[in-house]
Amino acid sequence: MFAAPPQPLFKSNTSASPAPPSLSAAIAGARRNFRAGRAQKSGFSSRFNGIRSIRAVISSGDKNVETATPPATKDSNGSFRSSDQGIDVRAVITIKKKIKETLTDKFEDQLESFINGIGQGIIIQLISEEIDPVTKSGKSVESSVRGWLPKPSDHSYIVEYDANFTVPSDFGCPGAVLITNLHGKEFYLMEIVVHGFSESPIFFPANSWIHSRKDNPESRIIFRNQAYLPSQTPAGLKDLRREDLLSIRGNGKGERKSFDRIYDYAPYNDLGRPDKDDDLVRPVLAGEEMPYPRRCRTGRPPTKSDPYSESRIEKPHSLYVPRDETFEEIKQANFSAGRLKALFHNLIPSIAANLSSSDISFKCFSEIDKLYNDGVILKSEEKNEEKKDILESLLLPMLMKKVVSVGERLLKYDIPAIISSDRFSWLRDNVFARQTLAGVNPVNIEVLKGFPILSKLDPAIYGPPESVITKELIEQELNGISVEEAIENKRLFILDYHDMLLPFIKKINSLPGRKTYASRTVFFYSQNGILRPLAIELSLPPTPSSPRNKQLYIHGHDATTHWIWKLAKAHVCSNDVGVHQLVNHWLRTHACMEPYIIATHRQLSSMHPIYKLLHPHMRYTLEINALARQNLINGGGVIEACFSPGKYAMDLSSAAYKSTWRFDMEALPADLLRRGMAVEDPSMPCGLRLVIEDYPYAADGLLVWSAIKEWVEGYVSHFYSEPETVTSDVELQAWWSEIKNKGHCDKRNEPWWPKLDTKEDLSGILTTMIWVASGQHAAINFGQYPFGGYVPNRPALMRKLIPQEDDPDFEKFLLNPQHTFLSSLATQLQATKVMAVQDALSTHSPDEEYLGQVHQLHSHWINDLEILNLFKKFSSKLEEIEEIIHGRNKDIHLKNRNGAGVPPYELLLPSSGPGVTGRGIPNSISI
C-alpha cells in the first residue's frame, strides 16, 4: 500500500541518506560557487547538476553580469518580454523585522538593508513546474535580492525587496522558489510574490524563519500556494517535494539546534531531574506499563544517573521546538512566551518569597475575598531597575500594577465569573451539579445504567466491587419515583472517578499536605430541568480492619450534616480539577495533538491539501507543550505542587491514557453516545438527541462540530473526487500510519483505530483532529479562571480527610466547621499560585486566530476559488452559531445558562477579544 521512502537528490545535513553517487560530482560543482559567496554573479545554475542550461540576467547595475539584457517590451498579456522572447519577471520578497527594536537591532537592520541592496544578502531561485529535458529537474533561474533601501509599507517592521529575472518564454509557471540567506543570522520571510507571468501575481506564502547559510548550507524550499496531491505534482517539482520532506524529518540523531526545522518523536522522559534529587526522579512515560503519546524529539544527552531519562534545560532557557513552531513576537511580547516566563520566573517566586514564611490556611472566607478586594503586597528587593520592573510589566489582566511603597507591588485578582454576580452560588447543590454540564469540565458526567454500581478493579487488591450507593438509598431521594423508572427515562447520572483514582490514593495520601479519596457522585435530573446531587461515595484503599473502606454522604438539613456534605462536595470538586487538568485538558488535547502535528510535517508536503487544511490548527502547540514540560507538568512543577496527585500526576495521566483514551471516541458525537448523554436520532442535527436538552457544552459543541464536519467534508470531496484517490495517496497513507505506529505507538495494535480507505474515513479523522484542537480545547481551557479562580468552588487539592465521629479532630470540627473546611483547602501560597496560572491559561493572546478566521499573514494560503468559497461559507456558519448561542443564553427555560446570578455559557462562542473573556475558539491549542 505504501511506496518506498523517497531518497534525497543531494546531501542534506539532516538526512542519513546520501545523494546518488552518479549525481555527487555534479552537485558539488553546482554548489561550489553558491557556497563561496558568489564572487562572480553567474546566471542560472541548476540545483541538481553543473550544466548551465539557462541564463538569468541579474539586476542592472551589477558589473559582473555575464549576459546583457535586450530592450524589453510589454506583450498583450502585460508580461514584460525582451526582444529574444525572454520574459522579464519580478519577485517581491516581504520580510518582517522586530516590531520593537533596540538600537542594536536598528543598526543591524541598516547593515542588512545595505547588504541586500548590493545583492550580497539573499539568493533566490525560481523553479518551474515544467521539467528541463537536459537536467531532468524543474527549469530554474537565479538572481540576487536587490534594492538599496527597502520599500516603505504600511508597517515599519515590514520591508520589501525586489529580485529581477529574465526567463525563457517556454519557462512555464514557477512552482517553487529556493531561498539562500547569506547573512550571519536568520530572517523572517512572510511571502514572495512573482509578477510578470501570464498567471501573475503568483504567491509563495512562507511565514517562516530562513536560516543563515552558516548554520545550514542548504537552501529553503518555498512552494506556491497551489495544492497538489502527490500524484498530481508537476514534474518539475517532484524532486523538491521529496527533498523538502526529507529535510524536515532529520535522521533521528544529535541534539537539535534552535535554527533547526526537524520534526521527530521522543517519549516523555524529560520531566524528572534524577541527577539533582532522588525525590525528583520521574518514570519514562512509554511502553506497555506506562503508555503515553510521543512528544517532539530534542535530542539532549541522557542524565548521568539514568540513561533512559533525558537531561533537562531549566528556566529561563527554552526547550527546542522546530523553528517555525516558536511564538511570534506579538505572542511572545504580549502573552505566552514572555508572559508565562515572567509568571513562572518572576511572579510565582515573588509570591513564594512573600507568602512562604506564612504558608498557612485561609482562616476565614474574607481572607479569600481580600485577594480580589485588597490584593497581596509583593516586595521586590531587585536593585537592577530592568529586573525590578518585570513584575510591573507583566501583562496579566488580574495584576494591578500599583506601587504601594518603595520596592512593593500589589497583586490583585479579578473576581471570577462564578461569584461575580452571586458570591454564595458555589455553596448550592444545583451550582455544584450545573458545573458538570456547563462548567470547565463538562466531559465526565454519564448516564447511570443500573444497580449495583460496580468497580472493574481487582477485588483482591481493592476490595468488594459494589458501591455503597444502593438502589434503596437512591429511592429515598426520588420522591416516590422508582429507580427503574428513573433509569429507563435516563434521569440518573453519575460522575465516577472511583476506578481511575483508587489505585493512586494510598500513594497520594502518603505525600505531605495531601489527603484525597476516590469518588462517585450520583445525580438526579428533575422534571423541571434541574440536576441535583443525591449521594457521594468517598473511598480509601481497603485495610485489614476495613476491607470495605467506603463512606457514604448525603445532603442533610442539620448543621453538622450540612458542613460534612460541603466537605464531601469539595473532595469531589478536587478530584474533578485533577482529572480535568491531567486527563481531559493536558492529555486529551495538548499531548494527543502533538503526534498529529509532528506526523503532518514529516509526511505531508506543505503543498498537500490536507497539510494546508490542518496548518492553522497546529500553530504554537509544540511551543506551549514544551513550556508545559519545563514549568507545569515537570517534577516539582506547578501541577505537582498545587494539585492533589502531587508527584504522581503524570502517572495518573498515563494510566488514564492506557485505560480510557481512544481516537474514535474523541469525536464529540461518539463521546456523547459512549457516556449515554445522547441517543441516536436521525431526525436531529448530527443524528443525535441529547438526553439532557439543557446540556450547554454538548448543545453548543454539536453546532460547532457540525460546522467543522461540513467544512471538512466539502474540502475533502473537492480534492478526493475519485474513490481510489485516498488509498493511492502515498503521503496521506504514510501520515496516518505514522500517527498510529510512531506518534501513538503504545496503542498501535488497538482494534479501534479508524481505517483510511475512503474520503468519508478521511473526513471523520480530520474533523476529530480539528475539533480537538479548537472546540474541545476551548471548552475545557478558557473557563479555568472563571470557574476555578475562587478556591472553594474548585479546590485544586485537599489537605485533610473528612473528620469521623471517632476522630480526635471531630470535636474541633463541631466547634469551628468553617476552620475545618478552609484548612482542608490549599494554603494561601498554593491557592495564589494556582490562581495566577489559571488566569494565564485562561487568557487569549492579542494575535489569537479564531475558528473560521484567516490571519492576515496567511491570506494567500491556497489558490483555489472553490475552497475559498467553502471557507467563506464555514465562516458564515460560525457567525450564525454565535447568534444561536447568544439566543440560548437569553432563554429563561434553559436554567443551566440563564437565571439570577447564573453566568451565561459562552465557552463555545467562536469569537473573542484578548484577555480572560470566558469565550472564543482559537484555531489551535496555543495556551
734 and 2 in contact (C-beta within 8 Å)?
A: yes
What the block records as the C-alpha cell of 345 is 520566573
pLDDT of residue 577: 97
Q: What value, to the nearest 5°, has the Cα angle with vertex 27 and ends 23 and 33?
A: 160
251-261 tens-digit pLDDT: 999 999 999 99
Q: How confident is the model at residue 69 (pLDDT cuts 50, 70, 90)?
A: very low
Cell numbers at 666, concatenated: 474523541
Distance of alpha carbon 107 from alpha carbon 109, whole angstroms:
5
C-alpha closest to that of 6 among 234, 252, 242, 233? 242
Range in 116-125, 484-493, 655-664, 911-920 the model is least confident about? 116-125
Instruction: Tell whether the model's pLDDT for residue 199 goes beyond 90.
Output: no
Query: Is 107 within a domain?
Result: yes
The DSSP bridge partners found for residue 538 are 519, 551
Q: Which of 781, 793, 889, 923 is catalytic?
A: 781
Beta strands at 202-210 and 492-496: parallel, antiparallel or unpaired: unpaired
Closest Cα to residue 56, out of 147, 143, 178?
143
The three cell numbers of residue 769 are: 483532529
Specify whether the CB–CB gap between 59 and 146 falls below 8 A: yes
Determine the average pLDDT of the residues in 598-606. 98
Strands 72-74 and 87-96: unpaired
CA distances from 641 to 317, 357, 459, 591, 768 (A): 21, 17, 32, 20, 33
pLDDT in tens, 352-383: 666 665 578 999 999 899 888 877 776 655 44
Q: What is the CATH number of the domain that holds 114?
A: 2.60.60.20
pLDDT at 335 over 70: no
**Helix or strand run (H / E) with residue 572:** helix 559-579
Query: DSSP string of 703-768?
Result: HHHHHHHHHHHHHHHHH--SGGGTTT-HHHHHHHHHIIIIITGGGTT-TTSPP-SSHHHHHHHHHH
Above 80 in pLDDT, residue 13?
no
Residue 660: the pLDDT is 96
- Look at residue 278 and tell me whether its pLDDT is greater than 60: yes
Final residue belonging to a domain, choices 205, 224, 243:
224
The H or E element spanning position 535 is strand 531-539
Report yes or no on 451 lying in a domain. yes
Instruction: Give just the sign of the alpha carbon dihedral 860, 861, 862, 865.
Output: negative
pLDDT at 567 over 70: yes
Q: Is residue 633 part of a domain?
A: no
**What percentage of the chain has pLDDT greater than the value 70?**
83
Closest CA to 18 of 366, 221, 251, 197: 251
**Which listed residue (498, 571, 580, 585) is catalytic?**
585
Q: How far apart are CA 214 and CA 184, in angstroms?
A: 7
Among 211, 555, 590, 858, which one carries the catalytic annotation?
590
Q: Is residue 705 part of a domain?
A: no
Cα(131)–Cα(149) distance, rounded to whole angstroms? 36
Percent pLDDT > 90 in the chain is: 69
When mean pLDDT is compared over 102-116, 544-558, 598-612, the highest value belongs to 598-612
Q: Name the grid cell of 157.
A: 517592521
Return the exposure string of 214-230: e unless at least 16 CB atoms fall within 10 Å of the residue's CB, then b: eebebbbbbbbbbbbbb
Final residue in a domain of this structure, among 189, 205, 224: 224
Phi, psi (degrees; rounded to nearest 5) at 81: -125, 140
Catalytic residue among 777, 793, 802, 896: 777
Of 201, 224, 247, the one marking the end of a domain is 224
Domain that holds residue 460: 425-581+796-826
Composition of the chain by helix, strand, coil, percent to 5: 40, 15, 45
Looking at per-residue pLDDT, the higher value among 547 and 624 belongs to 624
How far is the C-alpha of 495 from the C-alpha of 521, rounded, in Å? 5
DSSP structure string for 772-803: IIIIIHHHHHTTHHHHHSSTTTS-S---SPPP
pLDDT of residue 892: 95
The residue type at 41: K
Determine whether 183 is an active site residue: no
Residue 432 to residue 539: CA distance in whole angstroms: 20
Instruction: Tell me what the mean pLDDT of segment 141-162 comes to.
Output: 76
Kindly state whether residue 184 falls inside one of the protein's structural domains: yes
State yes or no: is 858 an active-site residue: no
Distances (CA, A) of 717 to 614, 711, 712, 760: 16, 10, 8, 9
Cell numbers 514540560 correspond to what residue?
629
Q: Average pLDDT for residues 222-228, to the nearest whole number?
A: 97
> What pLDDT, on a 0 to 100 scale, did the predictor assign at position 112?
80
User: By mean pLDDT, which of 211-225, 319-333, 427-441, 804-818 is the weakest?
Assistant: 319-333
Q: Does the structure show a pLDDT above 80 at 392?
A: no
Catalytic pick among 58, 469, 885, 927: 927
Told to judge if 590 belongs to the known catalytic residues of this protein, a careful annotator would answer: yes
**What gap in Å lies between CA 813 and CA 540, rounded to an integer?**
21
For residue 542, give every residue at least 6 positions away whose Cβ sits within 8 Å of its Cβ, in sequence order, or none: 462, 463, 548, 549
Residue 679: partners with Cβ closer than 8 Å, 6 or more residues away: 673, 688, 689, 691
pLDDT band at 120 (very low <50, low <70, confident <90, very high): confident
Residue 18 predicted with pLDDT over 50: no
Is the residue at 182 inside a domain?
yes
- DSSP secondary structure letter of residue 666: -
For residue 577, give the amino acid letter: V
Burial group, residue 289, by CB count within 10 angstroms (0-12, 13-18, 19+)? exposed
Q: Which domain CATH number covers 543? A: 3.10.450.60
- pTM for the whole thing? 0.88
Q: What is the largest CA-CA distance in the chain?
A: 103
* Residue 129: half-sphere exposure toward Cβ, Cα within 13 Å: 15
| Whether 608 is catalytic | no
CB atoms inside a 10 Å sphere around CB 382: 14
What is the residue type of 250?
G
CA distance 843 to 917: 7
615 catalytic per annotation: no
Q: Judge contact between 850 and 923, C-beta under 8 A.
A: yes
Three cell numbers at 845? 493572546
Q: What does the pLDDT look like over 105-114, one tens digit per residue?
A: 777 777 787 7
DSSP state of 311: P
Q: Is residue 42 pLDDT above 70, yes or no?
A: no
Considering its fold, how many domains does the chain have in total?
2
Residue 93 lies in a domain: yes
